[in-house]
Structure 1
């Protein structure tokens, strides 16, 4: 569950990135966050996991009040959230398997459990055959799948995905979205920021639209914009 109430972010130079926005996302929802560059999507995501401090308002993420959580307890919050960033940030000199397993080593799991959980998510994203490859040996779409596997391996209740289909060809983008739908069907909450209007119009879910830091639309089963082109869809 994510509960955002009267959230505002103002930078030191006086620029307001977010302006008094409020919404709630229940456990198990799939929600798009859309809007032009500079609308506040990435800032919102960073505030949800306390990478950026809140200026005013509050965020509740499951049992945690993010705005009140001491930095020494951030690890408990971030265990609840799997993050798929715009940049995959995979460790370049170790295998895909090791990139995923590293997240579990940090949690102190034993070798057997790490191996089992890593293999499980590799199977989920259909990347078992590539587990010993280095990230540079993979396509952009394959690297994104490894990033998703890494985000999932600790079994978070929420996935935050920031522009996951950016720079992908249509086939890879559709394949990735099918993967997110599969993850969602397992009960995981997904909040996904995107500029891909065709994808949003093709796979209708709840839409939060930001513009100049304001939440201007909260639309159940909405399109990318209020008046979406009915022809702007993928043929599945």
Structure 2
């Protein structure tokens, strides 16, 4: 369960990115965040991961009240959340296998289990033949699959993805959304910010629309906008 209750984030020298935001997300839901640039989507993610501390209001992730967590406890929260950013940042001098192993080593996962998990997750995203490749040797679409593998390899109950289709062609975007759908079927909560109206209209799920840091629409199986073009879909 994720719950925001009257959450506001403000800065002295800048506009308020989040204003009096309230919503809840059940475990296993798939939710799109939509809205124009500057509407608060990335800000919401920063609050959810406690990169930012809310100015007021309460945020709950599972049993954690984020405003009450000390700095030395934040690793417990972040182990519950897999993150897929707009830009896929990897250790450039390490192979795909070594980048994934690095994540598991940080959690002190035994070496024999690391090997099993890495191979399992690379098969899952269709990148099992690229273990020995370096990040600069794979395409943008392949890089995104590796980023997905990295996000799920620790088996977190929540995945957040910030504009994951931004730099992908249509074929790669559709493949990525199929992966997200499979991950969600394992009772993993998916929260995906998205500018791709066609994708949102094709793969219907809950839509939370933000504008100026506030929710203006919360629709089950919604489209990208309130009055979406029925022709604005992919051939799935």
TM-score, normalising length: structure 2: 0.98
Residue 27 of structure 2 corresponds to: 27
Deviation, 1:63, is 1.0
For 2:112, what is the secondary structure of its paired residue? helix
Deviation, 1:35, is 0.4
Residue 177 of structure 2 corresponds to: 177
Q: Deviations over 1:65-91 (max 9, x none)?
A: 112111100000001010001111111
Question: Where has structure 1 moved over 2 Å in runs of 4 or more?
Answer: none
Segments of 5+ residues of structure 2 without an aligned counterpart are: none
C-alpha RMSD over aligned residues? 0.7
Matched, 1:119 2:119: yes
Q: Deviations over 1:104-163 (max 9, x none)?
A: 100111110111111111111010001110010011110011011001011000001101
Matched, 1:132 2:132: yes
Residue 101 of structure 1 corresponds to: 101
Q: Deviations over 1:38-63 (max 9, x none)?
A: 00000000110101121111110111
User: Counterparts of 2:49 and 2:5 in 1: how far apart (Å)?
Assistant: 15
User: Counterparts of 1:49 and 1:97 in 2: how far apart (Å)?
Assistant: 26
Deviation, 1:14, is 4.2
Residue 226 of structure 2 corresponds to: 226
Residue 37 of structure 1 corresponds to: 37
User: Counterparts of 1:61 and 1:5 in 2: how far apart (Å)?
Assistant: 12
User: Counterparts of 1:83 and 1:67 in 2: how far apart (Å)?
Assistant: 20
User: Counterparts of 1:74 and 1:10 in 2: how far apart (Å)?
Assistant: 21
